[in-house]
Amino acid sequence: MIVTGTLVGVAALEPVAPGAGVLALLLQVAAVVLLLVESRLFLANTRDRPHGPIDVERSVSRTLDLGESVEITLRVRNRLGLPVRVRIVENLPESLVTGVPYAELFPATIRIPALGVIDVRYEVTPGERGRIEIPGPWVRVGLATGLAERRERAPCQSVARVVPALAGIVRYDTLRRSRNLAAIGIHAGRGFQRGREFDRLRDYHVDDDYRDVDWKATARRGRPITRIFRPERSQDVIVAVDASRVMTARSEGLSKLDEAINAALVLAHVVVKGGDRFGLAIFDAKLRTWMAPSSGARTVSAALDALYDVAPSPFDASFAAACTGIAARQTRRALVVFMTDLPDSVAGDDFVRCMSILRQRHLVACFTTADRKVLELAATPPTGRRELARTLAAAELLDEKRNARRRVADAGAYCAELPPGELAASAVNRYLDAKSRGLL
> Rounded CA gap, 438 and 194, in Å?
11
Question: Does 54-163 match 236-436 in CATH topology?
Answer: no
- Amino acid 26: pLDDT: 67
| Bridge partners of residue 202, in order along the sequence | 226
Tens-digit pLDDT profile for residues 388-397: 888 888 888 8
Surface-to-core class of residue 234, CB atoms within 10 Å of its CB (0-12 exposed, 13-18 middle, 19+ buried): exposed
List CB contacts of 253: < 8 A, sequence separation 6 or more. Answer: 67, 127
**Res. 7 pLDDT band, cuts 50 70 90:** very low
Fold for 54-163, please state it. Immunoglobulin-like (2.60.40)
Helix, strand, or coil (residue 335): strand
Residue spans of the domains in the chain: they are: 2-42, 54-163, 236-436
- Whether the bond into 107 is cis, omega within 30 of 0: yes
- Mean per-residue pLDDT, 323-333: 94
CB–CB of 367/263 below 8 Å? yes
- The rounded percent of the chain whose pLDDT value lies above 70 is 80
Q: What angle do CA 63, 65, 70 make, to 5 degrees?
A: 85
Please name the amino acid found at residue 297: A
What are the Cα distances from residue 130, in Å, to 103, 152, 159, 322?
A: 26, 29, 11, 23
> What's the rounded mean pLDDT across residues 226-245?
85
CB 26 within 8 A of CB 3: no
Average pLDDT score over the chain: 83
- What integer pLDDT is reported at residue 79 of this predicted model? 84
Tell me what the mean pLDDT of segment 150-154 comes to: 87
Q: Per DSSP, what are the bridge partners of residue 240? A: 281, 338
Q: pLDDT band for 297, please (50, 70, 90 cuts).
A: confident
Q: Are 193 and 339 in contact (CB under 8 A)?
A: no
pLDDT of residue 264: 94
pLDDT range class, residue 56, cuts 50, 70, 90: very high
Region 34-38 average pLDDT: 58
Which pTM does this prediction carry?
0.73
Reported confidence tier of residue 4, pLDDT bands at 50, 70, 90? very low
Amino acid at 361: R
Distance CA 259, CA 251 (A): 9
Tell me the average pLDDT across 240-264: 89
Fold of 236-436: Rossmann fold (3.40.50)
Residue 72 pLDDT more than 60? yes
CA atoms within 13 A on the CB side of 189: 4
Taking the CB of residue 88, how many other CB atoms lie within 10 A of it? 21
25-39, 64-78, 139-153: which range is least confident on average?
25-39
Query: Cβ-count burial of 369 within 10 angstroms (0-12 exposed, 13-18 middle, 19+ buried)?
Result: buried
Tens digits of residue pLDDT in 174-231: 666 666 676 666 765 544 445 566 677 888 877 677 778 888 889 988 999 888 776 6
Residues comprising the chain, all counted: 440
**Averaged pLDDT for residues 416-428:** 88
- The per-residue pLDDT for range 256-277, each reduced to its tens digit, is 999 999 999 999 999 998 889 9
Residue 376 vs residue 154, higher pLDDT: 154
Q: What are the tens digits of pLDDT across the range 361-375?
A: 999 999 999 888 888
Angle between helices 256-273 and 423-436 (to 10 degrees): 30
Q: Is 413 in contact with 355 (CB distance < 8 Å)?
A: yes
- Rounded Cα distance between 233 and 295, Å, is 10
Average confidence (pLDDT) over 44-53: 69
pLDDT of 9 above 70: no
Predicted pLDDT at 2: 34
Q: With contact defined as beta carbons under 8 Å apart, do 141 and 52 qualify?
A: yes
In this structure, are strands 84-89 and 363-369 parallel, antiparallel, or unpaired? unpaired
Reported as a single tens digit per residue, the pLDDT across 94-138 is 989 998 999 999 999 999 998 899 999 999 999 888 899 999 999
